[in-house]
Amino acid sequence: MHLERYEARGFEVPVETWGSSKKTLVFVPGLGCHPRYYGRGLERLSRDFRIVVPDLSFATHTRLPAEPSEYLALLGDIADDLAPDAVWCGHSFGALVALLRPGAAIACAPSVPVELPLWRTVARAVWLQAREYLGLEGRIGVTYAGRIMVDYVSTAVTRPGALFPAVRALKRPSGELPLESRHAVVYLCARDEMYRTAEYDRYFTACGHAGVTIEELPDGHDWPITRPERFAERMRLAWERVTGAGAGAAAAAD
């Protein structure tokens, strides 16, 4: 893994690069999550891809963009320089950012606009963390739950401006953050602790999703972190779909 710093739109952003393949992905972590939480999956995926991972985490920034559109603009400046032709993929809030871009995208358990009071969002997050603490999302989830809780709580107390504006930006009607990708694979979770099936249905119905393949998984919201083997394999399969590589290989075989 190679690390460099990139200056854009008033931010100094650490950027990790994994692998050296000509096949390139830009991976956007969840809101405030450090790339290290995805390290096991990224290491596996880097055997087949070059992966550019901007670090917009609470651990490295005292302030962060306030809106998904601001995240998109900032990351777009970085990607235009480091990986202009890459497929974008992301997890949770990062998955939503990837879907807001016109290019090909892979979205893992994306955040979506939902008009929920903040306390209900917090309650869902607590339930998610409790499941991980109890080991219901695997061994990795136990460690991750403790670390991410410290990240979020410490940020909420000491730097609320880095957390709550982005959270509040999702408290809006579904159609106000329309997805722009018309060639995407979206992995939704059958038992997502953060979003209900009806909430996802409202979003994708409001935005339309022609060209967007939605696949339901029997995993929890944080599966890209807690299930690194599945993450790497699913990213490979999704990349083939959104780039047409799988179809091309099948045609060649025929």
Any idea what the CATH number is for the domain that residue 93 is in?
Answer: 3.40.50.1820
| Tally of domains in the chain | 1
DSSP 3-state of 49 = coil
Largest CA distance in the chain: 60
Do 104 and 41 form a contact (C-beta atoms < 8 A)?
no
pLDDT for res 249: 41
The pLDDT profile of the chain, 254 residues, written as one tens digit per residue, is 899 999 999 999 999 999 999 999 999 999 999 999 999 999 999 999 999 999 999 999 999 999 999 999 999 999 999 999 999 999 999 999 999 999 999 999 999 999 989 889 989 999 998 999 898 888 999 999 999 999 999 999 999 999 999 999 999 988 888 899 989 999 999 889 999 999 999 998 887 777 899 999 999 999 999 999 999 999 999 999 999 865 444 343 34
Q: Which domain holds residue 228?
A: 2-253
